Amino acid sequence: MEIFTKSLTKRRFSFTDIIIIAVIFIILYIILKLSSGMNIPFVQGDHLNIDLSPLMLPYYAGRSLLRMFIAFFFSLLFTFIYGYIAAKVKTAGSVMVPVLDILQSIPVLGFLSATIIAFMAAFPNSLMGVECASIFAIFTGQAWNMTFSFYHSLMTIPKDLEEAGQMLHFNPWRRFISLELPISAIGLIWNGMMSFGGGWFFLAASEAISVLGEDIHLPGIGSYLAVAVESGNVQAMLYAMLVMLVMILLVDQLFWRPLIVWGQRFKLEFSEAKEQPDSFVYNVLYRSFIMYWLYSHIFAPIGIFFNRCILWFFDRLEKAPHTYVSINAGYFVQRGCKVFIALFLLYELYAPAKEAVFMLYDIGFNDLYQAFIMGLYTGGRVLAALFLGALWTIPVGVKIGLNPRLSAKMQPLVQIAASFPANMLFPFFTILFVEYHVNFEYGSILLMMMGTQWYILFNVIAGAMSIPNDLIEATEIFELSGWKKWKSLILPSIFPHLVTGFITASGGAWNASIISELVSWKKYTLTASGIGAYISTATSAGDWNGILVGIAVMCILVVLINRFIWHRLYYMAQTKYHVD
């Protein structure tokens, strides 16, 4: 495991080390304390009290954070297993990658009610079930992106390194830690950070949920806000937002920044980049004696021990001489396996599918038609949110992107803004809507925009930054300005990034529709007609037919829109407007 920590050299013990030790112990203690709250007894019908005193906020925030990290751990685990199999077993990959693509595009929040019921059944008489459902919701917001990144890295390993690995007789484990893991590290860290940012939204949405006619409030910052909203306590709402912001900043500074700096060593290019990321925390840890001591006396020996065990295991496994990787002998076995898996899946799917079909049959054509119309309303709202978002983000993003100094400062800010769960802002807008009697059919578009516009802005900035300098100079020489400059240079060159931004934003908007088409403030409830409101109404009422229809309609619409709009635009962007 030497490659992961080796840059630590001898350090002297200093005052910072005392602080680091203290921080380590505090973190360990907090984790212990927080996790003990996860498995308290709970039966359906119990009411979990959320205390609105600001003193309780750190505890709730900690619980939420713990959930985020547990979900992240499982996302990582899922990424490695799923991505590795998809990349290594060709036949599995041809099924697993499209499945991942669909998973990525369907709005998972719609399934929350189903997962809560399932998890509650798995952990009867304990809060663990609800806890797991929340963690699962966050997981679904994080995992797909990371898995794609890992899969992509595995598929694009440079051929010469792959061959070098073979010539050096790497076994699968050695190949994994010496080649595959390092090569995918940078992509994983970046995507992990983005996914983690997206996870906050799911956290806030999944902690406080009314399902099957019951309100469940998991101890956490999302519930704190929800209870504050119910009781109309604006001060508590502001506290919650502030704590959320602090938490996002802390995680960014203490966890992601150091990771990004550390990850630089896995860059594949041989040339040194001009601007290196920097992190204060990383520097402190890097220089501290205690980290060095911990590394050389605890982590390194453990790592070496495990490494040796696994290598020994693989060596035993490979007593037989190496043979070529692809040999036809296993072909029939593979075939048989495929048929078996297909039959098994069909068998497993048969019963639920039959049930679903019967349910749909019961619902009748008219209701389906209604749901579909609702879906179209929401679709219109999603497009409107994207359009409105693009309207202000394109000019602003280009302005920022074309100014290197400004973009260096703004990019982290935009990233934080994108991480901030927009659903925590919803109550404030609800208050305004109620006060000024805004038509919520349109007002909900604004709510959708809150979360999704940042993705567009982020990508527009990146696009504007990537415009080659010589092209900008050329437009100046030809004295192109105003609309001409936009038409001939700026819009075509940001187009691929814009499409990427739209795709991400559209996914976010569909997910957001489930919570942004139905909001409440004290006794007022605002509803916009749309599939999102349809699903959340059905969820809180425990109307299984409604949930099923709503989710089905939404999934179909999202997948269709992805196939027929976004994929085409994406293809066009990749082929025609690719600036290289």
Partner 1 sequence: MKNLLELKEINKTFKIKGTSDSTILENINLHVKEGEFLAVLGPSGSGKSTLLRIIAGLIPSSSGTVSYLGKEIKGVNPGVAMVFQSFALFPWLTVLENVMLGLERKKISVEYKREKSMQVLDIVGLDGFENAYPKELSGGMRQRVGIGRALVSEPDILLMDEAFSALDVLTAENLRRDLLELWLDKKIPTKSIVLITHGIEEAVYMADRAIILSSGPATIIKNIDISLPRWRDRKSPEFLSYVDEIYSIMTKKKIPMTEMLVQTKKDLIIPSVSAGALTGFLELLEDLNEKIDLYKLADRFLMDMEDFLPLIEASALLHFTKVTEGDIELTEHGVEFARATVLERKKLFRQQLLEHIPFVQKMINILRSKSNKQMNIEFFEELQSQTFGEEIGQKQLELLIGWERYAELIEYDDNKEIVYLEQSV
Q: In angstroms, rounded to a whole number, what is the distance separating the alpha carbons of residues 434 and 422? A: 19
Beta bridge partners of 211: 214
- Smallest gap from Cβ 474 to partner 1, in A, equals 21
Specify the stretch interacting with partner 1 by CB under 8 A; choose among 110-118, 172-180, 462-470, 541-549. Answer: 172-180
Strands, DSSP E only, in 168-281? 208-211, 214-217
- Smallest gap from Cβ 471 to partner 1, in A, equals 20
Q: For 221-225, which contacts have Cβ atoms below 8 Å and span 24 or more sequence positions?
A: 221/57, 221/60, 221/61, 221/63, 221/64, 221/247, 222/64, 222/424, 223/48, 223/50, 223/60, 224/50, 224/52, 224/56, 224/57, 224/60, 225/424, 225/427
Among 14, 94, 166, 525, binds partner 1 (CB under 8 A): 166
Burial class from Cβ neighbours inside 10 Å (0-12, 13-18, 19+) for residue 501 reads buried
Burial class from Cβ neighbours inside 10 Å (0-12, 13-18, 19+) for residue 350 reads exposed
Beta bridge partners of 527: 518
Among 168, 234, 298, 349, binds partner 1 (CB under 8 A): 168
Q: In sequence order, which residues have a C-beta less than 8 Å from that of residue 522 and are 6 or more positions away?
A: 230, 232
User: Residue holding tokens 């901030």?
Assistant: 420
Q: Give, for 521, the enclosing helix (H) or strand (E).
A: strand 518-521
Binding of residue 578 to partner 1 (CB under 8 A): no
Among 41, 45, 321, 352, binds partner 1 (CB under 8 A): 321
Binding of residue 347 to partner 1 (CB under 8 A): no
Nearer to partner 1, 202 or 292 (CB): 292
Specify the stretch interacting with partner 1 by CB under 8 A; choose among 100-108, 128-136, 171-179, 368-376. Answer: 171-179
Among 10, 12, 47, 169, binds partner 1 (CB under 8 A): 169
Binding of residue 323 to partner 1 (CB under 8 A): yes
Q: In angstroms, rounded to a whole number, what is the distance separating the alpha carbons of residues 495 and 297? A: 52
Nearer to partner 1, 326 or 469 (CB): 326
Nearer to partner 1, 269 or 580 (CB): 269
Among 36, 275, 324, 352, binds partner 1 (CB under 8 A): 324
- Smallest gap from Cβ 178 to partner 1, in A, equals 7
- Smallest gap from Cβ 268 to partner 1, in A, equals 6
Q: In angstroms, rounded to a whole number, what is the distance separating the alpha carbons of residues 233 and 340? A: 58
Among 38, 179, 394, 418, binds partner 1 (CB under 8 A): 179
Among 36, 49, 271, 366, binds partner 1 (CB under 8 A): 271
Say if CB 253 and CB 79 are below 8 A apart: no
Q: Which of 66, 55, 76, 6 is closest to 33 using CA atoms?
A: 66
Say if CB 205 and CB 222 are below 8 A apart: yes
Binding of residue 329 to partner 1 (CB under 8 A): no
Binding of residue 164 to partner 1 (CB under 8 A): yes
Binding of residue 409 to partner 1 (CB under 8 A): no
Nearer to partner 1, 3 or 402 (CB): 3
Binding of residue 182 to partner 1 (CB under 8 A): yes
351-368 residues labelled b (16+ CB within 10 A) or e (exposed): eeeeeeeeebeebeeeee
Nearer to partner 1, 265 or 409 (CB): 265
Q: In angstroms, rounded to a whole number, what is the distance separating the alpha carbons of residues 103 and 147? A: 11
Specify the stretch interacting with partner 1 by CB under 8 A; choose among 162-170, 347-355, 384-392, 521-529. Answer: 162-170
- Smallest gap from Cβ 262 to partner 1, in A, equals 11
Among 36, 41, 270, 274, binds partner 1 (CB under 8 A): 270
Q: Give, for 287, the enclosing helix (H) or strand (E).
A: helix 280-287
Binding of residue 399 to partner 1 (CB under 8 A): no
Say if CB 11 and CB 294 are below 8 A apart: no
- Smallest gap from Cβ 4 to partner 1, in A, equals 10
Specify the stretch interacting with partner 1 by CB under 8 A; choose among 209-217, 227-235, 269-277, 504-512. Answer: 269-277
φ, ψ (nearest 5 deg) of residue 518: -145, 105
Among 74, 173, 190, 266, binds partner 1 (CB under 8 A): 266
Binding of residue 161 to partner 1 (CB under 8 A): yes
Nearer to partner 1, 174 or 485 (CB): 174
Among 12, 45, 55, 160, binds partner 1 (CB under 8 A): 160
- Smallest gap from Cβ 427 to partner 1, in A, equals 47
Nearer to partner 1, 274 or 437 (CB): 274
Q: In angstroms, rounded to a whole number, what is the distance separating the alpha carbons of residues 232 and 422? A: 19
| Helix, strand or coil, per DSSP, at residue 130 | helix
Mark 221-260 with x for binding to partner 1 (rule: CB under 8 A) and - for no binding: ----------------------------------------
Residues forming contacts to partner 1 in the complex (CB under 8 A) are 2-3, 6, 158, 160-161, 163-164, 166-170, 174, 178-179, 182, 265-272, 321-324, 327, 576
